[in-house]
Every structure is written in structure tokens, then in C-alpha cells.
Structure 1
Amino acid sequence: MERPLYLDCAATTPADPRVAEVVARLLVEEFGNAGSRTHEYGLMAHREVGRARDRVAGTLDAAPDEVIFTSGATESNNIAILGLAAPGVARSKRHIVSTAIEHKAVLEPLAHLAENGFDVTLVKPDRAGHVDADALLAAIRPDTLLISVMHGNNETGALQPITAIADGLPEDGPYFHVDAAQTYGKETPALRHKRIELISVSGHKVFGPKGVGALLVRRRRGNRIPIQPLMWGGGQERGLRPGTQPVALIAGLGLAAELAEKERTRRMEICQRMRKQAIAELSPLAPTIHGDPQRGVLPHILSIALPGIDSEAIMVALKHVVAVSNGSACTSASYQPSHVLEAMELSEDEVAGTVRLSWSHLTGEVPWNTIVSILADLRL
């Protein structure tokens, strides 16, 4: 049976064939341990890790030693948030500001800190899914340790005003962490703001392999941010992420990062055309579209609500045609209402009827006529 067209790129992307080739070569032929410096295999692996670090750093206008390789954005988020807990306690700074629409990889570490004496303020979005920069900045207190804001929402595609937030932060104020899983390699220029000191990156959202990511930890006036490790043993990645470095995956991320930057404009143009076409083709169904284009939305994500039709029914009806979801991969797996859509204060019908379509520059022709016909039949 022919497989449905994949329209869930916000959950994961296919690996670029050029990236897959490098990963395979390093797994099979040049398989040395980057920590083994006594022979050529280890030295070659060490060089591959260094090259990848240079590539990722170059895309973010950062120094190579500010890039820490991790297993993905979830681990990066945990290190950035939980790793600042002890320094925060030592400085009597136990307040954190974030938003109600963050990924669970941010909200759950924040909940853990809240259970252990920290005060967490979650700023709510408007009904389109955007957070107001002034409202977030107004939540800062003298004891605020960290601001953590997702750049592009993984469910709605709504871009958050990270530049305005960064511009409004005092030089010696709270650290600023951005979860850039959805925007790295796409909206990268905004991430180069020097006041954004912590950035989480995921390999499998930028056409690289799963199981690898990065945390950018910028220096502040030449000083390293005092993040503490969550694990110990081996001292790799400046002691913040010990363990044998997955050379093949790291090299894959490095190449994927470089390719994304070189091809970013073309990729974005393709995704923008696809989004415009999707909205036009779906218009007879009069969907509610989440995210305000005037305030910025990701061109590869389209979140729509079809009131009166349950999202589960939509996904079942379309499963042989296209692969779509009703939220983040984590939320979809739990069969719970989306916390993002609930934070936007949408009606129960809108929450229940929301599906997410997400594509990439590698996506083929979308059978919109078939999709619209199936969805129209659901309303009969």
C-alpha cells in the first residue's frame, strides 16, 4: 500500500540525504571515539566533532566553545533551566518567568523547580497564540533568575517576540533562554541577538539525525554562565554533558546546520508558498487559523480548527492520504487537550477540532482536492 504523504514535519523531519550519508560513513568506516587521542581513529573523530561545533557556532554568531552537544532540545532545556537552580539559590534568585505555551520539556522542569522552592510566573498568550513582550518584561522582579521563552510554537507556529524581549532586558538582568527547536535553521537571524544567552537546538527538526542537539551557552561580558551539570562522569562537553560523544550524530547535526543556513532563503520561500496554497485550498471549509501573520508565524506550520469536527475524526479520515497531528507529538501521545490551545482560551469546539499540518521544502505535491473532499464529507 502506498504510504500517505507526510505532513507532520513539526514533530520530526526526514534526514537530508547528504546528512544521512555522513552519519552512515562515520558509523561504519570512521567510527573512532573522539576521546581517544592516541591513534588516528580517535583523532579523526575528534576533528569531526570540532568541525561540527564550528558549524553550529557559525550559524549563531557564537564561539565554538559556547556550543554544548546534547541528545536534543529536551535535554538542552533541562540543562539550561535546572542547571541554574543551585547558582540561583546561592544568589537568592528563585524567580523564573516563562509562558503558558511552552513545550513540556520546559514546563515540567519549571514545575520541578516550583516544587522545590522556586516561584514561576507563566505569562499567557492572546487568542492567536502570541505572548506580549511588555507583559513578559513587566513580570521581571529583582529576584528573577531566568526568562525562558519558546521562539516558535510547535503547535500553532506562532512566533514569539524574542528580539523585543532581549532588547528590553537589562544588561545585568535575568539570563534569557530560548527554546529554538522549531526555528533553528529557519528563523536563525533572530537567535544571534547577544542578549539571548541560552539557546536549545534539536537535530531532528532541522533535517539531521534524532538523538542529538545542542545548547548554546553564551558568555556574558567574557564570563561563563554558571550552569551546573545534571550528570557527572567523563568531563565531556565542558563537564555539562558527560559521556562518550556520538560522533556520527554530532557530525550530522553540524552538516545539517550548515546546509540549513546556506539554503535557508530557498527553503523558507518554498514553505511560504505551500502555506499560502494550503490556506487557499482549505478556504471553502472556513477554518479558524491559529497564529497572527502580522505578528509572525512559521511558514511550515498551519494550525487550523474546524469546529464541529473532532480532530481525532479528521486524523482517522485522512490517515490513508496524509499524516497529520492534533498538536505536539508529546500531547498527541497522551490524548489530553492541548495546554497551548487551552492557554489561548479557545472554545471547547475549537480545541477539540484543531489539527496541525506541517511540511518542509522536501514535501511533495499535497493532494488538497482529496483532503478538502474528505473533510467536507465529515461535516455532512
Structure 2
Amino acid sequence: MTVYLDANATTPVDKRVADVVLAYLTEEYGNAGSRTHEIGHAAQTAVARARRQVAAVVDCSDDEVIFTSGATEANNIALLGLAPEGQRSERRHIVTTAIEHKAVLEPLDRLAHSGFEVDLVKPDRSGRVSPDEIASKLRKDTLAVSIMAANNETGVIQPVLEVCSLLADHPAYLHVDAAQAFGKLLPDLRHHRIDLISVSGHKVFAPKGIGALVTRKRGFRRPPLTPLLVGGGQERGLRPGTLPVALIVGLGLASELAVSEHAERQQACIAYKNEVLAGLTPLGPQIHGDPEHTLPHVVNLSLPGLDSEAVMVAWRGLLAVSNGSACTSASYEPSHVLTAMSLPEDNIRSALRLSWTHMTESVEWAEAVSRLQDLLPL
């Protein structure tokens, strides 16, 4: 049996979540927009409950949660949706980091081609961005700062709380891509200086195809977002279309479980990381990313003398791992994250990402190491 160690790409759906999703697909199948009968009302009630469950994770009001198809769509709505406000107010400057997911970098690249100026802040060798570097880029015309909560390739946790502090007296909107951190870094995402938070369901044991954008109000004013799509007016006009009730209910339950089981999941993932590092010790792994600021369920590393593609082939049928973001797995270009960290080319080329969950099965590490030792030169 292959042990799945690619949880940063996607997590398995929790059986409890799958059961409730199936029930809303086959039994409680009403349209949440149909308010004239009890079947539609039941769907509407289920969506409202899920909205509260998602809101509780980040300590926001339920009316600040907008359901989307995932974090990619949420990122696009947050960043491209702010553009008209930037044009109206003549604030066309945005600060972000060089290690963001493509779902952030590509919308910002589009804005750069339409007259916005985008500053990319690089991390240090630890994979962590300096808040001082972000502060040095701020200007009077800065419209937004976008920083991920934790990196998808290295698992390095970014200084979101420090960025909140440095923006205390600055009007820039703060957007946090929390695809890898929602339900895992609880205090970091509950700071009320964060205006916009992107959420992905399939990273937290909910189905693929569902996510959310948190649009936290400052005082009584919502972030001035312009919708990318129109037609129907659902989700406060920001994301039109019939709501996928079953998927929303699944995200709601997954969110609630992430909070109630947070401590146990963290402890299990920390223990598993210790097993991973101990198991690979004979190969002398080189860790990429500050271990003091890394999620407990992921490690990015190189194994000296071994190419990542060769390792993945050797582990086929035993371990499922990756050598980067799932969204760019078809590309053989070097990781933009590891490149931004100024790692040596050999490390970038040989880098592997191992990521797991609190439910991941144990690995026969002796077998895993033996397969790779056969690849090493004599």
C-alpha cells in the first residue's frame, strides 16, 4: 500500500464530512435560493450554519464569509476585486512576497500590466519574509499588502501577526492567503487587522471545489470589492451562482472539526514529523525552511546525491510525495519559492516535499531508505 505524503496538495475527505456531503447530495438536495418552500428553506438553514462554522475559525461575523470554489477564486476576487478602488483612489501600489502561490502572483501580474506597481519582497534563507522589508516598501499610495500565512512548498509560517502590527496606522488592505493555514494556525488568522482571508476546503479535509473569502469589516465598512462575475447576486453580489449546498455543508463541518480537534491533530502531526526525520537520518537530509517556524505536518528537504525525480520513481508503490506545488507539477521549471530563498541549485533540483495529516499511516522507513541507497554512487 502506498502511504500518502502529499497532503499539502490535497487532504483526504474526513469520513464524517463525506457522510454529510452525501446526505445533502441525495436527501437534502434543495436550492438555498428557493425560499418559498421548506426544502429550499432547509438548504438555506444548512448554508447559514456552515457560514457560522467557517466564521468561528477566524473569529469573524458570519456575514463576512463569502463562499467560493476555493482559495484560487478567493485570491482573484480579493486582489482583482480591489483594482477599481485603487484606480478610483489613485492608490495603485501593492506589496506582496516572492514566495506566494501562483494564484496570488498571476492576478497581481495582471494588475501590473494594467498600470499597478507590484513590489515583491524576498524571504531570507530560512524561507521567512522580514516584516521590516515589507514595512520598507509601504507608501502612501499602497492599496494592499498580500502575504500567505504559510508557504505551500516549505511549510514555513510567515509573520502575519507582525505585519498586522506594522499596518496598524496604514490604510492598506491586508490580504492573507490561508490555503495551507486555515484551521491549523488559529491565532494568526483571528487578528482583526486582516481584511481578507482566502480559504481552501480541500486542504482541511473537505471536498475539492469549495472554499471561502473572508471579507472582514473595518468598523462598519466592508472591503470595497468589485465582483469579477455578475448574474444572480448571491453571496452579497460578490460571487453569483447557485450555491453548492452539499460542498458548503462539508466545509462547515470540516471547519468545526478543525477547531474542536486542533490540539490532538497538532500533536499527532508533530510526532509524525519526528518519525519522518528520524527515518531519513541515514540519508543526511538537508532541511529547507526554519524548523522553528514551520507547520508540523510538512517538511521540504533534499537528500544529498539524489535527484528528486529519481527519488519519487524509487518510492513508487511505497510513498507518494511531491517536489513542489501541485499546481505546477507538470512544469520542470525550478521552484520559484526555493529560488527566492537563494538556495543552491543542487538543493533546488533535488528538493522534495513531504506532507501528512493526523490520519497518515506509518511508513516502513527502512525500506524507503534502502531503495534510495541503491541509487547512491559507490
Task: Provide TM-score, normalisation by structure 1.
Answer: 0.98
Q: How does 1:85-164 map to 2 (within 5 A)?
A: 85-164=83-162
Match of 2:337 among 337, 340, 344: 340
Shift of 1:172: 4.3
Q: Distance in 2 between matches of 1:85 and 1:149?
A: 17
- Asked if structure 1 preserves the Cα contact closer than 8 Å seen for 2:47 and 2:249, the reply is yes
For 2:271, the equivalent position in structure 1 comes to 273
Alpha-carbon deviation of 1:372? 1.4
1:282-301 aligned at under 5 Å gives the runs: 282-294=280-292, 296-301=293-298
Q: Which residue pairs with 2:30 in the alignment? A: 32
Matches of 1:117 and 1:187 in 2, distance apart?
35
Tell me, in whole angstroms, the C-alpha distance in 2 between the residues paired with 1:142 and 1:308: 49
Match of 2:208 in 1: 210
CA contact (8 A) 1:281 1:368 kept: yes
Match of 1:358 in 2: 355
- Structure 2 CA distance for aligned equivalents of residues 146 and 190 of structure 1: 19
8 Å Cα contact 1:69-1:213 kept in structure 2: yes
Tell me the secondary structure at the aligned position of residue 111 of structure 1: helix
Structure 2 residue corresponding to 1:180, chosen from 178, 181, 194: 178
Q: Map 1:243-282 to 2 at 5 A.
A: 243-282=241-280
Give the match for residue 376 of structure 1: 373
Q: Give the secondary-structure state (helix, strand or coil) at the position aligned to 2:282.
A: helix
Inter-partner Cα distance in structure 2 for 1:172 and 1:350 = 39
Gaps of 5+ in 2: none
Q: Which residue of structure 2 lines up, in the alignment, with residue 311 of structure 1?
A: 308
- Does residue 323 of the first structure (1) align with residue 320 of the second (2)? yes
8 Å CA contact 2:67–2:248 kept in 1: the answer is yes
Unaligned runs of at least 5 residues, structure 1: none
Deviations 1:267-312 (A, max 9, x none): 0000001111211221221111011123x10011110012321111
**Residue aligned with 1:93, SS:** coil
**DSSP-derived class of the 2:75 partner:** helix
Q: 1:291-338: CA deviations, max 9, x gaps?
A: 1123x1001111001232111111111111010000110121222211
Residue 299 (structure 2) aligned to one of 298, 302, 305: 302
Q: Contact 1:176 / 1:198 at 8 angstroms: preserved in 2?
A: yes
Q: Is the 8 A contact 1:148 1:177 kept in 2?
A: yes
Return the letter of the residue paired with 2:273: R
- The one-letter code sitting in structure 2 at the alignment partner of 1:31 is Y
Structure-2 separation of matches of 1:172 and 1:313: 49
Amino acid at match of 2:168: P
Percent pairwise identity = 59
After superposition, the C-alpha distances for 1:26-65 in whole angstroms (9 at most, x for unaligned) are 0001101000011111000000100000111111111000
> 1:243 offset after TM fit, Å?
0.1
Deviations 1:164-213 (A, max 9, x none): 01011133421100000111111122100000111000000000011000
One-letter identity of the residue aligned with 1:233: G
Partners of 1:331 and 1:337 within 8 A in 2: no
* 1:163 CA displacement: 0.3
Is 1:169–2:191 an aligned residue pair?
Answer: no
The residue type paired with residue 297 of structure 2 is H
Measure, in 1, the Cα distance between the counterparts of 2:369 and 2:194: 42
Query: Residues 124-162 of structure 1, C-alpha deviation per residue, up to 9 Å, x if partnerless?
Result: 011121111111111111110000001110000100000
* Alignment partner, residue 6 of structure 2: 8
The DSSP-based 3-state class of the residue aligned with 1:346 is coil
Point out the more displaced range, 9-18 or 328-337.
328-337
Q: Is the 8 A contact 1:146 1:177 kept in 2?
A: yes
User: How many residue pairs get matched?
Assistant: 377
Does residue 54 (structure 1) correspond to residue 52 (structure 2)? The answer is yes
